[in-house]
Structure 1
Amino acid sequence: MKSATHIIVAAGILSACSPTQVPEPQSQGDIVTEVAPADLPGPVQSAVSEAMPDMKVLEVLRKERGQRVYFDVEGERADGSEIELDILYADGVAEVVEIQRDLPWTAVPADVQAAATAAGAAEPVRIIESTQTDGSIIYELFADGMPKNPAMEVQSKDGQVEVLAERWPH
């Protein structure tokens, strides 16, 4: 679980840019290892197949974050859309904790945009929509020149929208 303090951005820090121009974000301190898709542990392969049966795995990163191990499994669905599954792996058990995709700012729900704007954000350079296992959706907003960690995160759950004061745990 991520435990770093969440940063609220001041007006003007986020700027307009294509959401696909920023590389994969990574937290400082993560130990990241590339893994061949064929070398995924069996429980992780099963979790991918169960969560997204039509996904073709293209890239896998193993991330050690503190005491946790995650597999970031990137690929594409049968319709060609890109998707990433974040899988927590512990004691031989694999659990999908997030399903992520990049979105353009125009595809972010209006209430999420309004909350971010009210908190001082302009249009971010990248948005990752992360569907959580608890039914919430976290919108990670990345600022220009800050590709490793989101500058702001906004949670949408049960019709409520909130700018998070702390980083979401996954």
Structure 2
Amino acid sequence: MRRHHLSMLCVVLAGLAGCDGNRQSADSAAPAKSSGIPTTVTDIAASDLPPELVSLVKSEVPDMQIEGAERKEREDRIYYDVEGRRADGSEVELDILQEGGAFKIVEIQRDIAWSEAPQAARDAAAGAQNKFEPVRVIESKQTDGSVIYELFTDGAPEKPALEVRFMEGKAEILEEEWPH
């Protein structure tokens, strides 16, 4: 999920600040820069995560076994993509924004079968002009209570071909990419 999510975070943050998508190793001194805003991406071991961040993750997904994380720094903003598995073995990723000394969950992601999405979301996608059968679906629970379904076509794993927002029983096709 990490490689896809780096790309998705770049797409999401591009609207806010631009993104170059480059990765830096933990011992690299200079931020990545090819175009757009410099971004430093550092892999972080689960044991090296700040205790407050781990507490937040565990309060949201108590049975999550944290496997690792990425720390992304761009224009005075710091994000952590924390990856792991639930007790049932399913993958889960939490995107967390650090603001000052506090951490805030931005979204919770997991891959699902398209048949697991609400019928209203599937109906909305079926009515889209470019309808297709998704080969991958990422469910992104947002802090506003909505869920974004990112739908991918065969041969295009980096960017969703369609996004459906589901909230309070209603679904809509997004005209623009969701900001988180």
TM-score (norm 1): 0.78
Q: Aligned partners of 1:151, 1:47: CA distance in 2, in Å?
A: 32
Alpha-carbon contact 1:56-1:75 (below 8 Å) kept: yes
Percent identical among aligned pairs is 50
Alpha-carbon contact 1:71-1:88 (below 8 Å) kept: yes
Q: 1:126 aligns with which of 104, 128, 136?
A: 136
**Deviation per CA, 1:56-111, whole angstroms, max 9, x where unpaired?**
00121223456532211111112222211111112121111111110112222222
Q: 2:103 aligns with which of 88, 94, 100?
A: 94
Matched, 1:135 2:145: yes
Tell me the C-alpha RMSD between the 2 structures: 2.1
* Structure 2 residue aligned with 1:13: none
* CA pair 66-111 structure 1, distance change in 2 beyond 3 A: farther
**Deviation per CA, 1:5-56, whole angstroms, max 9, x where unpaired?**
xxxxxxxxxxxxxxx9x95231252443211111112332221121112110
* CA pair 55-110 structure 1, distance change in 2 beyond 3 A: same
- The unaligned stretches of length 5 or more in structure 2 are 11-18, 22-38
Q: 1:29 aligns with which of 3, 11, 20?
A: 20
Runs of 4+ in structure 1 off by over 3 angstroms are 64-68
TM-score (norm 2): 0.74
| Number of aligned positions between the proteins | 150
Q: Aligned partners of 1:81, 1:145: CA distance in 2, in Å?
A: 24
Q: Aligned partners of 1:91, 1:115: CA distance in 2, in Å?
A: 39
Matched, 1:77 2:89: no
Matched, 1:167 2:167: no
- The unaligned stretches of length 5 or more in structure 1 are 1-19
Q: Aligned letter for 1:29?
A: D
Say which structure is richer in helix: 2
Higher relative contact order (CA 8 A, sep 6+): 1
Aligned partner of residue 79 in structure 1, secondary structure: coil
